[in-house]
């Protein structure tokens, strides 16, 4: 029996050949795609999306879409809890509770969606802000991105703080501690101020050049920034700043969110497609005689719709009744009312304030689609005290800014000047947030 | 260097050789022989003959003969081994001059420790050496399983503890296999299948939902394994435990089933021709409402005017069901001369289903070739090509389902072709007419597939073997679903869907094994290996609607298309060391270091260790002295291993962006599913121990195993705070456990010339439990009723219960109903409700059943009578499993069930079933039944002739066989079949009977000729 240490020359040659073969095989295997870093071909990851300008345009458009698609979340809670809308018989139980009950269960989607959708928008904005400088774009274009991101971030926080009492500012994976409204409003104002500064370095030509890819149809970025600055400065009590910003807004421009098919106007979807909501008849009956605005907002000649609870009287909405109706980001007359309110609250130039209020009352024509009151002007004697002015401003806001998502906040700001109180004071923090946020915002 | 004390194991062309080889060129001789059975003198097929000290070997043919050429002259030891017989050795001097003849006579034994197992151990080894459980199934148990069209179907009742269910009785219907319980929640639960070393695709993702809806786990009626022909199988090895499967690392949590196909044998050419004819009939039909008077639902849907008026009824099953015919034909040729051996086969299968217009047709062609290039190198090529086409009808929860319509529609509705309308009338409950669906719709599935590989084995020197394998499984599956215009409603414009899936799985393995003998007492076998796999699956979908009459391709006016692509690559290194001590104690330690592309770079490489020990205590002299008379052999074994599982989606770790167009422009937003780059494989840790004991000279063998496994890092969807911008994330957070016992008793009861009787009895019990979810109060719902909750097995039934009186009887309450225009009040049972802490009532839900069996048992017997007759009987039993009888629930609800007759005749409360207003339809407790069953899975009788008159045909042997499959079921279950599951191979949703085609009774007759 041969021992294992003896090899014939043939065997040695064979072994060498085999060894070389094995080695060659291993090298070949290593050289072929043994790469285990596979990408998902079905959907791009974030790293790829933010690495070029095409992706960044898509993220910016997506961010605007996120905000536009969440308008119905803000409006539903806002209008049902105040005296704007009522529920129809088909409405979900959560809608009915928002309309009638003093409190609302925090497990409802109605409670979670304004919260969740706002943070998704804020996160998109953060993504843009974090990555825009890596693309090496010119200032004109880069500042449009940053201004847009800051604007939508501010609008989202702004909408959040009108619905919930305290909200986190930091967007983090474990959840951050909830901040009180002064802190959040500060953040909003800082963002808007920064957006405004960014826009100063953007020319109209810059906007025109990138509008087709960057901005939604009919969305005017410059005026919207100023309008939001005015709105939230007023909320925060920064009256001078509110007035300056309101002055910068061009009243001949209507900045809108467009809803071409297959998308739908969110109010039309709620009121007609789903058939959940309609306008309270009290909105029409409590208007001043001769006010043309109820007819602008509500179909005043139609028969009432089957309502829930049955004792409320609901009329179908006129605005917005067509699925491709655009939704205004803000209405031009809000600026006049902001200025008037700022002056009134500062208790200065009350005559100027009264003049502004009368401009709103007497308006009969406009270059853009907005409500026209067609009322007679009030005499100076009716508007010469702070209280009278504030009461009249509150009333004008009711009819100018119907279903714009502002009335809930108005009830808090005007307090006793209001005739109605909202059924729910603030939305509770959503249940999923309570259960998973490591900072335990629900206590 | 000692030779005789050391156990040597011998190689077949694919197996491993151990001894120093004689290298110098020598004279060689051809050796012939024949192997017969000691008890009846009959030839034994598939006996492995090997020559110690060489690579040479052969397999006996149908008449027990073998030929080995080029055997070096001199003193040689020939070894004959085969499952079920005792291994026998003969020392023969191979002389010059006349050819040498070596004959063997093998005595039947229950099992043998010398059986060679290939898989899961790194290098082939005898069973005695392997400490973990490896279960083998002989090839003819699979290839001769009557009427089985697929391998997994043929395995029913043959693997201890495996719960193998055929999900639907449609031809080509898929099979779901569970080894040692359910081991994942979001991941899959089917084992990994490997054919000749190639990992094959067994996906059961439906391209078109014909049974369960796509939103519910998307399980298909069939599974991809149904394409592989059971006829060419030589042997199957089942690796149930983590210790056995650790070699497959991160894909092996559910076990591995290794399939080996036939090779050629050197010597005479063997030709086998087999032709089989089969009949299928439904075993049990729905018992429908045939009352001659109208009931409540007949007024609602059937056009009757008042309850109690005479009405005509139809049992649509008469039009839907038929006796299906089928045929299976196979021709195989094997042989070889010198260094070349081959096996070539071709076959054609055609089966009609028991529902009209359903069938399954398959062509397959296989070629296995081996060539010995020199004394040291052998190469082989294996390839099979399959072309199959199945025609299905929808069933289950699809509104177009044919059997679905039978249970949803009151029997008073006339669904026959209406000459006045010129079409089939619409079904008043569902829309589509079942006869229209069956006759005019199309739901074919077409698969073309190639599975094959190249293998090279080299012995650079005697104690080292290097093996390389490259294999591929490539298939293209095309499904179609054609719904003609106006077939579901007057406004339906027709629709065609035509998805195509392209799947390619490629793996290559390089293994090196070294056998060393350190001392007389200590042997060491070392194995090292490398594996790389690459899987790619692409699905392209095209669909069209607004069809023209007569148009059935995807070219209607409105078209849509989509595409998806998934890829997976794995790479691994493994090392294994086995020490054999005194030829009595064997210790094995191995480690598999593997990476998968599904995981992030930091967590990609994972270790999967294994340890096992096997102690053949029965061969110790002191044991033989003490207990040798009662216990003829005893082996103790223990093993520990870890395996992994892939995440539910191969791209789960990524944070993806999804489309959100706005204002007519393309937009992207981040998905609300957060990515998780630190996603790990699900990890299973299992230890098992057991023994194999032989009694009465190994005429009886008892195998016992206890296993205990714990699976952690289960991937679950964890909710995130919405203020993060995300809503959920996949995290490794869940845990579950499975433990149980597996017992098998193999006996040779009688072994006389003229009569041999063998039995196999198996029993297994598994207890599964979910031990951790995201929060302990979580209830994850899958399907209709199956949930995952802590403290319970995966997939228990959870649903509404009856309100009960304090004494436990079902409570009733008065309910106002309208009966023939009059108001009436009846007492009806109602669903129980719970009181909430803050006041208010909510419907109560409880755990009401468990689809997993308490235990499973099989009992198989084979009888060899005289020289010609062989009879086999296999009983397959499952005990303690619950079935949710949704078929009955729907049938009762819509007044189609026989029990509704009592409502009409007044023998039971009016409307206690029909559209019951008290929530009976959600009181699921009423529909959970005990689905325990014993099925006569297989019974076959074969007559073989090798007389002179057979040779006049030119043949050596003629076998006539008559057999049956699923001929009888003993069960208390009231539905059609307690085995079927509408959710097919779904991991969590099991035991749901909802208008699924039951398994038919099948009867076959076949003729085989061996030339």
Please indicate whether residue B246 or residue B367 has the higher confidence score (pLDDT).
Answer: B367
The terminus-to-terminus CA distance of chain A in angstroms comes to 84
CA atoms lying within 13 Å on the CB side of residue B995: 26
Is B593 touching A (CB cutoff 8 A)? Answer: no
CB-nearest to B595 from A36, A44, A176 is A36
CB < 8 Å to B671, chain A: 43
CB < 8 Å to B455, chain A: none
Confidence band, pLDDT 50/70/90 cuts, at residue B15: very low
Q: Does B670 sit within 8 Å of A61, measured CB to CB?
A: no
Is A329 touching B (CB cutoff 8 A)? Answer: no
Q: Is the distance from CB of A183 to CB of A170 less than 8 angstroms?
A: no
Say how many C-beta atoms besides its own lie within 10 A of residue B621's C-beta: 8
Q: Which of A43, A47, A149, A167 to mutate to test the interface with B (most CBs of B within 10 A)?
A: A43
Chain-centroid distance of CA B81 in Å reads 28
pLDDT surpasses 70 at A233: yes
Q: How far is residue A232's CA from residue A409's CA, in Å, rounded to a whole number?
A: 11
pLDDT surpasses 90 at B974: yes
Q: Does B596 sit within 8 Å of A257, measured CB to CB?
A: no
Least confident window among A308-312, B119-123, B246-250: B119-123
Q: Which of B558, B604, B663, B839 to mutate to test the interface with A (most CBs of A within 10 A)?
A: B663
Classified as helix, coil or strand, B592 is: strand
Confidence band, pLDDT 50/70/90 cuts, at residue B671: very high
Average pLDDT estimate for A321-333: 93
Nearest Cα of chain B lies from the Cα of A4 at a distance, in angstroms, of 7
Report B:520-539 residues touching A (Cβ under 8 A): 530, 532, 534
CB-nearest to B669 from A2, A19, A66 is A66
Confidence band, pLDDT 50/70/90 cuts, at residue B97: low
Q: Which tokens in the block code for residue A67? A: 């905000």
Say how many C-beta atoms besides its own lie within 10 A of residue B41's C-beta: 11
Q: Which of A12, A29, A52, A58 to mutate to test the interface with B (most CBs of B within 10 A)?
A: A58
Partner residues linked to B756 by β-bridges:
B751, B864
At B699-710, the pLDDT tens digits run: 899 999 999 999
CB < 8 Å to B458, chain A: 18
Q: How far is residue B238's CA from residue A68's CA, in Å, rounded to a whole number?
A: 57
Report A:27-66 residues touching B (Cβ under 8 A): 29, 33-46, 49, 55, 58-66
Q: Which of B775, B644, B759, B769 is nearest to B713 (CA)?
A: B644
B375-B380-B384 Cα angle (round to 5): 165
Mean pLDDT of chain A: 88
User: What is the H or E stretch that residue A78 is in?
Assistant: helix A71-81
Nearest Cα of chain B lies from the Cα of A132 at a distance, in angstroms, of 16
Q: Does A34 sit within 8 Å of B571, measured CB to CB?
A: yes
Is A129 touching B (CB cutoff 8 A)? Answer: no
Q: Which of A30, A62, A70 to mutate to test the interface with B (most CBs of B within 10 A)?
A: A62
Is A179 touching B (CB cutoff 8 A)? Answer: no
At B716-763, the pLDDT tens digits run: 999 999 999 999 999 999 999 999 999 999 999 988 888 889 999 999
Encode burial over B325-356: b for 16+ CB neighbours within 10 A, e otherwise. ebebbbebbbbbeebebbbbbbbebbbbbbbb
pLDDT surpasses 50 at B2: no
Average pLDDT estimate for B945-964: 87
Q: Does A171 sit within 8 Å of B725, measured CB to CB?
A: yes
Task: Spell out the long-range contacts of B615-620 with Cβ–Cβ below 8 A and sequence spacing 24 or more.
Answer: B615/B584, B615/B585, B615/B586, B616/B113, B616/B128, B616/B583, B616/B584, B616/B585, B616/B586, B617/B584, B618/B693, B618/B694, B619/B583, B619/B584, B620/B584
- pLDDT score for B840: 80
Q: Which tokens in the block code for residue A124? A: 């998109």
Average pLDDT estimate for A213-242: 94
- pLDDT score for A34: 66
CB < 8 Å to B667, chain A: 58-65
Mean pLDDT of chain B: 87
Is B596 touching A (CB cutoff 8 A)? Answer: yes
Confidence band, pLDDT 50/70/90 cuts, at residue A417: low
Residue of B nearest to A61 (CA): B667
Residue of B nearest to A157 (CA): B723
Report B:667-686 residues touching A (Cβ under 8 A): 667-672, 674-675
Confidence band, pLDDT 50/70/90 cuts, at residue B4: very low
Q: Is the distance from CB of B190 to CB of B164 less than 8 angstroms?
A: no
At B113-155, the pLDDT tens digits run: 667 777 655 567 777 888 888 888 888 888 888 878 788 888 9
In order of A54, A63, A64, A122, A226, the CA distances from B666 in angstroms are 10, 11, 11, 19, 27
Q: Does A65 sit within 8 Å of B669, measured CB to CB?
A: yes
Residue of A nearest to B457 (CA): A18
CB < 8 Å to B571, chain A: 34, 36
Report B:709-748 residues touching A (Cβ under 8 A): 719-727
Q: Does A167 sit within 8 Å of B726, measured CB to CB?
A: no
Report A:236-265 residues touching B (Cβ under 8 A): 257-260, 263
- pLDDT score for B119: 63
Classified as helix, coil or strand, A69 is: helix
Is B622 touching A (CB cutoff 8 A)? Answer: no
Confidence band, pLDDT 50/70/90 cuts, at residue B568: very high
ipTM: 0.86
String of DSSP letters for B416-452: S-BTTTTBPPPBTTTBS-HHHHHHH-B-EEEEEEEEE
Nearest Cα of chain A lies from the Cα of B69 at a distance, in angstroms, of 22
Q: How far is residue B485's CA from residue B508's CA, in Å, rounded to a whole number?
A: 49
CB < 8 Å to A216, chain B: 662-663, 665
Confidence band, pLDDT 50/70/90 cuts, at residue A311: confident
pLDDT surpasses 90 at B627: no
At B27-50, the pLDDT tens digits run: 777 888 899 888 777 788 878 888
Say how many C-beta atoms besides its own lie within 10 A of residue B644's C-beta: 27
CB-nearest to B721 from A8, A41, A437 is A437
Nearest Cα of chain B lies from the Cα of A200 at a distance, in angstroms, of 26
- pLDDT score for B356: 94
Q: Which residue has the tokens 């070349």?
A: B340
- Residue B866's region, left for phi above 0, alpha for psi from -120 to 50, else beta, is left
CB-nearest to A42 from B3, B565, B595 is B565
- pLDDT score for B21: 37
pLDDT surpasses 80 at B271: yes
Is A289 touching B (CB cutoff 8 A)? Answer: no
pLDDT surpasses 70 at B74: yes
Confidence band, pLDDT 50/70/90 cuts, at residue B537: very high
Q: Does A4 sit within 8 Å of B667, measured CB to CB?
A: no
- pLDDT score for B218: 65
Report B:788-827 residues touching A (Cβ under 8 A): none
CB pairs under 8 A between A and B: 207
R_g of chain B computed on alpha carbons: 31
- pLDDT score for B216: 67
Report A:207-236 residues touching B (Cβ under 8 A): 213, 216-217, 219
Q: Which residue has the tokens 């001097």?
A: B93
At B857-896, the pLDDT tens digits run: 999 999 988 888 999 999 999 999 999 999 999 999 998 9
Q: How far is residue B547's CA from residue B551's CA, in Å, rounded to a whole number?
A: 6
Q: How far is residue A52's CA from residue A47's CA, in Å, rounded to a whole number?
A: 10
Encode burial over B892-903: b for 16+ CB neighbours within 10 A, e otherwise. bbbbbbbbbbbb
What angle separates helix A139-163 from helix A204-214, to the nearest 10 degrees?
70
CB-nearest to B721 from A1, A120, A432 is A432
Q: Is the distance from CB of A95 to CB of A80 less than 8 angstroms?
A: yes
Please indicate whether residue B40 or residue B517 has the higher confidence score (pLDDT).
Answer: B517
CB-nearest to B721 from A14, A46, A436 is A436
The terminus-to-terminus CA distance of chain B in angstroms comes to 46
Least confident window among A100-109, B373-382, B487-496: A100-109
R_g of chain A computed on alpha carbons: 29
Is A358 touching B (CB cutoff 8 A)? Answer: no
Residue of B nearest to A109 (CA): B722
Q: Which of B298, B186, B334 is nearest to B914 (CA)?
A: B298
């Amino acid at each position: 029996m041969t021992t294992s240490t003896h090899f014939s020359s043939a065997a040695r040659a064979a072994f060498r050949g085999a060894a070389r073969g094995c080695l060659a095989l291993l090298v070949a295997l290593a050289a072929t795609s043994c790469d285990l870093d596979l990408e998902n071909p079905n959907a791009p990851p974030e790293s790829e999306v933010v690495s070029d300008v095409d992706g960044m345009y898509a993220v910016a458009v997506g961010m605007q879409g996120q905000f536009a698609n969440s308008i119905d979340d803000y409006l539903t809670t806002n209008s049902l809890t105040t005296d704007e809308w009522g529920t129809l018989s088909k409405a979900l139980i959560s809608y009915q509770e928002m309309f009638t009950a003093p409190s609302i269960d925090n497990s409802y989607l109605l409670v979670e969606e304004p919260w969740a959708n706002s943070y998704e928008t804020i996160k998109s904005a953060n993504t843009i802000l974090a990555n825009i400088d890596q693309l090496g774009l010119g200032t004109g274009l880069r500042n449009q991105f940053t201004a847009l991101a800051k604007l939508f971030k501010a609008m989202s926080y702004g909408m959040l703080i009108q619905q919930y009492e305290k909200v986190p500012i930091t967007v983090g994976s474990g959840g951050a501690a909830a901040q009180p409204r002064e802190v959040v409003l500060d953040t909003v104002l800082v963002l808007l101020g920064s957006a405004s500064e960014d826009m100063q370095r953007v020319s109209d030509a810059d906007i025109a050049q990138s509008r087709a890819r960057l901005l939604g149809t009919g969305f005017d970025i410059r005026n919207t920034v100023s309008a939001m600055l005015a709105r939230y400065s007023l909320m925060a009590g920064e009256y001078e700043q509110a007035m300056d910003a309101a002055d910068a807004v061009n009243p001949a421009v209507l900045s809108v969110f467009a809803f071409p098919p297959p998308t739908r106007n969110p109010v039309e979807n709620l009121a007609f497609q789903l058939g959940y909501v309609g306008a309270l008849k009290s909105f029409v009956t409590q208007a001043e005689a001769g006010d043309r605005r109820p007819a602008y907002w509500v179909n005043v000649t139609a028969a009432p719709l089957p309502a829930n609870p049955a004792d409320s009287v609901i009329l179908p909405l006129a605005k917005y009744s067509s699925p491709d109706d655009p939704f205004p980001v803000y209405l031009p007359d809000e600026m006049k009312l902001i200025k008037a309110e700022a002056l009134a609250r500062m208790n200065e130039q009350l005559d100027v304030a009264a003049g502004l209020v009368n401009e709103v009352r007497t308006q009969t024509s406009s270059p853009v689609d907005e409500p026209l009151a067609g009322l007679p002007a009030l005499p100076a004697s009716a508007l010469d005290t702070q209280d009278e002015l504030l009461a009249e401003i509150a009333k004008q806001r009711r009819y100018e800014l119907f279903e714009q998502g502002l009335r809930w906040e108005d009830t808090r700001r005007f307090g006793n000047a209001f005739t109605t109180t909202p059924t729910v004071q603030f939305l509770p923090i959503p249940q999923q947030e309570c259960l998973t946020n490591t900072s335990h915002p629900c206590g | 260097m000692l030779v005789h004390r050391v156990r040597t194991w011998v190689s077949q062309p694919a197996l491993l050789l151990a001894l120093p080889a004689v290298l110098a060129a020598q004279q060689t001789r051809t050796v012939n022989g024949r192997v017969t059975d000691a008890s009846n003198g009959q030839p034994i097929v598939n006996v492995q003959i090997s020559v110690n000290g060489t690579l040479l070997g052969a397999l006996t043919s149908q008449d027990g003969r073998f030929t080995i050429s080029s055997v070096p002259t001199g003193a040689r030891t020939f070894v004959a081994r085969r499952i079920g017989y005792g291994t026998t050795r003969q020392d023969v001097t191979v002389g010059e001059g006349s050819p040498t003849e070596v004959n063997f006579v093998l005595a039947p034994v229950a099992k043998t420790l010398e059986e060679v197992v290939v898989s899961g151990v790194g290098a082939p080894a005898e069973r005695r050496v392997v400490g973990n459980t490896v279960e083998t199934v002989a090839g003819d148990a699979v290839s001769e399983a009557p009427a089985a069209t697929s391998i997994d179907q043929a395995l029913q009742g043959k693997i201890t503890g495996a719960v193998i269910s055929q999900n639907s009785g449609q031809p080509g219907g898929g099979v779901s296999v569970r080894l040692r319980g359910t081991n994942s929640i979001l991941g899959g639960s089917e084992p990994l299948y490997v054919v000749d070393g190639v990992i094959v695709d067994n996906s059961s993702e439906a391209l078109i939902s014909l049974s369960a809806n796509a939103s519910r786990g998307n399980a298909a009626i069939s599974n991809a394994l149904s394409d592989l022909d059971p006829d060419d199988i030589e042997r199957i090895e089942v690796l149930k435990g983590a210790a056995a499967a650790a070699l497959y690392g991160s894909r092996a949590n559910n076990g591995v089933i290794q399939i080996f196909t036939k090779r050629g044998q050197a010597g005479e050419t063997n030709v086998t021709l087999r032709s089989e004819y089969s009949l299928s009939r439904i075993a049990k039909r729905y018992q429908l409402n045939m009352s001659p008077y109208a009931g409540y639902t007949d007024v609602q849907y059937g056009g009757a005017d008042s309850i109690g008026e005479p009405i005509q009824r139809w049992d649509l099953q008469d039009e839907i069901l038929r006796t299906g015919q089928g045929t299976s034909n196979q021709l195989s040729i094997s042989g070889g001369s010198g260094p070349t051996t081959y096996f070539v086969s071709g076959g054609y299968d055609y089966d009609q289903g028991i529902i009209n217009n359903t069938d399954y047709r398959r062509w397959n062609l296989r070629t296995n070739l081996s060539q010995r290039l020199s004394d040291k190198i052998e190469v082989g090529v294996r390839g099979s090509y399959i072309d199959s086409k199945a025609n299905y009808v929808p069933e289950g929860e699809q509104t177009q389902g044919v059997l679905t319509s039978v249970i949803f529609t009151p029997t008073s509705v006339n669904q026959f072709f209406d000459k006045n309308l010129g079409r089939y009338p619409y079904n008043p409950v569902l829309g589509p007419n079942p006869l229209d669906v069956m006759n005019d719709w199309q739901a074919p599935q077409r698969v073309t597939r190639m599975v094959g590989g190249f293998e090279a084995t080299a012995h650079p020197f005697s104690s080292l073997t290097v093996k390389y394998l490259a294999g591929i499984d490539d298939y293209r599956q095309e499904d179609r679903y054609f719904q003609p215009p106006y077939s579901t409603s007057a406004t339906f414009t027709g629709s065609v869907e035509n998805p195509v899936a392209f799947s390619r799985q490629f793996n290559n393995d390089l293994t090196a094994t070294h056998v060393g003998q350190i001392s007389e007492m200590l042997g060491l076998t070392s194995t090292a290996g490398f594996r790389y796999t690459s899987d790619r699956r692409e699905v392209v979908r095209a669909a069209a609607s607004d069809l023209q009459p007569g148009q059935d391709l995807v070219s209607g006016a409105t078209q849509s298309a989509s595409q998806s692509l998934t890829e997976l690559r794995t790479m691994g290194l493994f090392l294994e060391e086995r020490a054999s001590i005194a030829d009595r104690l064997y210790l094995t330690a191995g480690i598999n270091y593997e990476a998968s592309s599904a995981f992030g770079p930091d967590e990609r490489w994972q270790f999967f260790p294994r340890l096992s020990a096997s102690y053949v205590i029965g061969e110790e002299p002191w044991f033989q002295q003490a207990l040798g008379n009662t216990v003829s052999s005893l082996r103790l074994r223990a093993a520990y291993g870890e395996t992994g599982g892939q995440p539910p989606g191969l791209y789960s770790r990524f944070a993806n962006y999804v489309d959100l167009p706005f204002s007519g422009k393309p937009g992207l937003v981040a998905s609300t599913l957060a990515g998780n780059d630190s996603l790990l494989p699900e990890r299973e840790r299992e230890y098992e121990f057991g023994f194999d004991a032989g009694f009465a000279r190994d005429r009886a063998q008892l195998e016992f195993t206890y296993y205990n496994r714990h699976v952690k890092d289960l991937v679950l969807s964890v909710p995130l705070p919405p203020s993060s911008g995300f809503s959920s994330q996949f995290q490794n957070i869940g845990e579950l456990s499975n433990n149980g016992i597996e017992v098998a008793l193999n006996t040779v009861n009688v072994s006389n010339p003229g009569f041999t009787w063998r039995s196999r009895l198996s029993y297994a019990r598994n207890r599964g439990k979910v031990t951790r979810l995201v929060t302990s109060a979580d209830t994850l719902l899958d399907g209709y009723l199956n949930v995952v909750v802590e403290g319970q097995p995966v997939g228990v039934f959870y649903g509404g219960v009856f309100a009960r009186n304090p004494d436990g009887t079902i409570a009733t309450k008065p309910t106002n109903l309208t009966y023939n225009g009059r108001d009436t009040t009846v007492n009806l049972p109602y669903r129980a409700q719970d009181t909430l802490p803050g006041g208010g009532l909510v419907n109560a839900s409880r755990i009401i059943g468990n689809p997993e069996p308490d235990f499973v048992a099989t009992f198989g017997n084979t009888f060899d009578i005289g020289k010609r007759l062989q009879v086999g009987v296999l009983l397959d039993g499952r005990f303690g499993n619950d079935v949710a009888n949704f078929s009955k629930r729907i049938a009762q609800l819509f007044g189609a069930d026989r029990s509704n007759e009592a409502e009409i005749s007044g023998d039971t409360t009016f409307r206690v079933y029909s559209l019951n207003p008290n929530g009976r339809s959600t009181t699921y407790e009423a529909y959970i039944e005990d689905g325990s069953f014993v099925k006569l899975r297989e019974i076959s009788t074969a007559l073989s002739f090798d007389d002179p008159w057979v040779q006049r045909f030119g043949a050596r042997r003629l076998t006539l066989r008559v057999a049956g499959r699923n001929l009888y079921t003993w069960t208390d279950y009231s539905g059609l079949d307690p085995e079927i599951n509408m959710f097919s191979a779904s991991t969590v949703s099991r035991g749901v009977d909802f208008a699924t085609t039951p398994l038919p009774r099948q009867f076959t007759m076949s003729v085989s000729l061996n030339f």
